[in-house]
Amino acid sequence: MAILSHILGFPRIGLHRELKKALESYWTGKLNEQKLFAVGRQLRERHWQQQQDTGIDLLSVGDFAWYDHVLTTSLMVNNIPVRHRLCQEDDNIDFNMLFRIARGCNQDGKSIPASDMTKWFNTNYHYIVPELTYNQQFKLKWIQLLDEVDEALALGYKIKPILLGPLTYLWLGKVQGKKFNKLSLLKSLLSVYREILKKLADKGITWVQIDEPILVLELSNEWQEAFYNAYFELKDQVQILLTTYFDTIDHQINVIRELPVQGVHVDCTIKGSNLDLVNKKIPSCWLLSAGIINGRNIWRSDLYSCFKKLSVLVKDRIIWLGSSCSLLHSPVDLCTENNLDEKIKNCFSFSVQKCMELAMLCTALNKIDNIEFQDILKHYSSLNDLQLNSHFVHDKCLAKRLEKMIAVEFCSQRSSYKIRSKIQQKYLKLPILPTTTIGSLPQTEGIRKIRLDFKSGNMDIIQYESNIKQYIKEAVIEQENLDLDVLVHGEIERNDMVEYFAERLSGFVFTQNGWVQSYGSRCVKPPIIIGDISRKNNECMIVKWISYAQSITNKPVKGILTGPITILHWSFVREDVSRKNIALQISLAIRDEVSDLENCGISIIQIDEPALREGLPLKKSCWSEYLSWATKVFRICISGVKDETQIHTHMCYSKFNDIIDAIVALDVDVITIESSRSNMELLEVFKKSDYFNEIGPGIYDIHSPHVPSEECFIHRLHKMLNYISIERLWVNPDCGLKTRSWLEVRESLRNMVLAAKKIRGSFIKKY
């Protein structure tokens, strides 16, 4: 039987971020619903045609989402939070409902708390967390998948619909109100899945991809048993490809082999992946889908090595070739990159190219005795060569310095927090409940135009720096008028918190259109690590901007840096060096910048590590090794810092109970976190732990345009004080403000400061 190619999903955003632009136009009232829908349809049709043109056999349907595929699944099963259902008179689900759940507001002006948002496994993609309530009932409601199947079939494509699996959906969900076992909802949920599969079968669909990535986790016996019960209920409708990704499934193979499904997809790009074991263990009648092309990185595949690995399997079993995971995590098309050096460009492969790689590999395996096709694979693979012994890729001086730094790092510890805090209190003279922001301030059209003009050569450096300083001055004045206690310079010069630093470090290259979706309309353009990393010419990266901001105010200004773990995880990384070694290289560069900031009189330095938890291995048994080196990397950044210099860090959307010991090990003076969307539940872990340093929980959700009132802030502060003593509590938004307007920010921060002052005043009167 012929080997077929497929992918687990294609990017939704469009080559030129058409979906992002359409969504934002719709949210601001510049685009109506019909035109937004038309943009989505055009993108889907283009993406299906691109897959077919590259030679993919089974096209993916169900990978498109207006905001997030988990939210789409919630709508499909009619899982609508009560507060959002009460916002309208009927029970219809429409764009207003969808975007209100995701954003907390929509085009009709109604505003209500959004659902929680968190990271999709260990990626930088975010999903909208399903809200689960005791004894709730599901039913089929939002039929986007069925409509899109009809679209693709009408165009004559051979397709494979995609569903997020019922067990993974419940696992990702969050219990609201009365505590209960999430698996108690499985029976009702399965009735919807059965109905969907029946409708797909009626349309002539033979195979359905059901994603159950939680199978790579170390599940309890209860969840393992639930898999058999669930898939027994779903059998006999269509043929099911049980799909896993992001890690190995060897530990679950005895569970998987007993399931009443017809095939399994395995991520073959993960270290330790054992395709031979899976092949031997699963029933001989099953289809085996090999995720042989890496969907999470951008390097050209070694197709000849893949060919040799797979050629021994194709004689004994039905084989499909696929991407390791959805190509959602990869840019769209390398062909638009005109500024990359050709030798470097030849090493890369984006989504369209990955589809081509699958088709090439499929052809060679289907004609396994044809040497000509094997030669084609050899030639293709040979182009992936960055001359790995060159000075550009391997810096011997850096290696020696790093070795020395690792040896002395623990000999240069700062004093204990208890000692440092007294010194800092005397030096900084901050009030209780100090107010601040996370870092970035609104990025206006004017700011973006200045950066673009400078980058494109239409503005000289003198004019550029003058303009940036003017915007920094305006940002400082705004904050002083709001009476914030600790100021920021606004990150006016930064297009992105990772890319800005990467541009000032050796070892990185950058794309023009290498965008990937982070959440909703938010896209990021990860830099690519191709060599050893250090500051270019040992030049400072942010000192001149922070020093200028500090020179025009008497209040402390934070010097804000992106940490090494976040730069690592939010970049496409080289694969010839361990992630640990890459992070250690970055930590030296950040340490140099911290030292320069301190020498210039900056008394508060913030090293953002929003991706610390994101880097955790999916299997808990592997956590300790990662956290050990990740915390060591961070401490190198701050080794040698004076006691009077206050060190902050910021973290996003993390389950801190998982990493509280690592947070303690970082030994920062202040941690600011995102906790507003989780209704402050994240703070429970700090109450229960021995973490005594200072904490700034995010007091409001910046991802929503909703402006909280002063009374709302007061209520939230009182709630925070149930977990954190007033001497340790900072007051700040939950994230940077670059995506918001000054109109929103000004009002929100004013109310935040007024609330902090009121509670501060009450405390002083009381004591």
Site of tokens 């030994």: 667
Alpha carbon distances (Å) from 51 to 333, 355, 385, 653, 725: 12, 7, 27, 34, 56
Confidence of residue 408 (pLDDT cuts 50, 70, 90): low
8 Å CB contact between 8 and 327: yes
User: What percentage of residues in the chain have a pLDDT greater than 90?
Assistant: 79
In the predicted model, is pLDDT for residue 409 greater than 70?
Answer: no
Confidence of residue 704 (pLDDT cuts 50, 70, 90): confident
pLDDT in tens, 617-675: 999 999 999 999 999 999 999 998 999 999 999 987 556 777 888 988 999 999 998 76
Confidence of residue 387 (pLDDT cuts 50, 70, 90): very low
**391-429+496-646 CATH choice from 3.10.180.10, 3.20.20.210, 3.40.50.300, 3.90.1150.10:** 3.20.20.210
- Lowest-confidence range among 147-156, 300-309, 557-566? 300-309
Q: Which residues are catalytic?
A: 703
8 Å CB contact between 8 and 211: yes
Q: How far, in Å, CA of 548 to CA of 441, rounded? A: 17
Tell me, rounded to whole angstroms, the distance of Cα 522 from its chain centroid.
Answer: 10
In the predicted model, is pLDDT for residue 399 greater than 90?
Answer: no
Mean pLDDT confidence for 596-601? 97
pLDDT at residue number 410: 52
Mean pLDDT confidence for 466-494? 97
In the predicted model, is pLDDT for residue 25 greater than 90?
Answer: yes
pLDDT in tens, 442-465: 999 999 999 999 999 999 999 999
Q: How far, in Å, CA of 269 to CA of 248, rounded? A: 9
In the predicted model, is pLDDT for residue 42 greater than 80?
Answer: yes
In the predicted model, is pLDDT for residue 386 greater than 60?
Answer: no
In the predicted model, is pLDDT for residue 767 greater than 90?
Answer: no
pLDDT in tens, 321-377: 999 999 999 999 999 999 999 889 999 999 999 999 999 999 999 998 888 888 888
Confidence of residue 766 (pLDDT cuts 50, 70, 90): low
pLDDT at residue number 591: 96
Do 4-17+39-73+133-163+180-382 and 391-429+496-646 have matching folds? yes
The reply to whether CATH 3.20.20.210 applies to domain 4-17+39-73+133-163+180-382 is: yes
Can you give the residue ranges of every domain in the chain?
A: 4-17+39-73+133-163+180-382, 391-429+496-646
Residue of 665, 756, 661 whose CA lies nearest to 712: 756
Confidence of residue 380 (pLDDT cuts 50, 70, 90): confident
Residue with the bigger pLDDT between 379 and 517: it is 517
3-state secondary structure 354-392: HHHHHHHHHHHHHCCCCHHHHHHHHHHHHCCCCCCCCCC
Mean pLDDT confidence for 154-160? 98
Residue with the bigger pLDDT between 90 and 26: it is 26
Residues in the chain: 767
pLDDT at residue number 372: 86
pLDDT at residue number 698: 87
Mean pLDDT confidence for 715-722? 92
Q: How far, in Å, CA of 331 to CA of 321, rounded? A: 20
Confidence of residue 33 (pLDDT cuts 50, 70, 90): very high
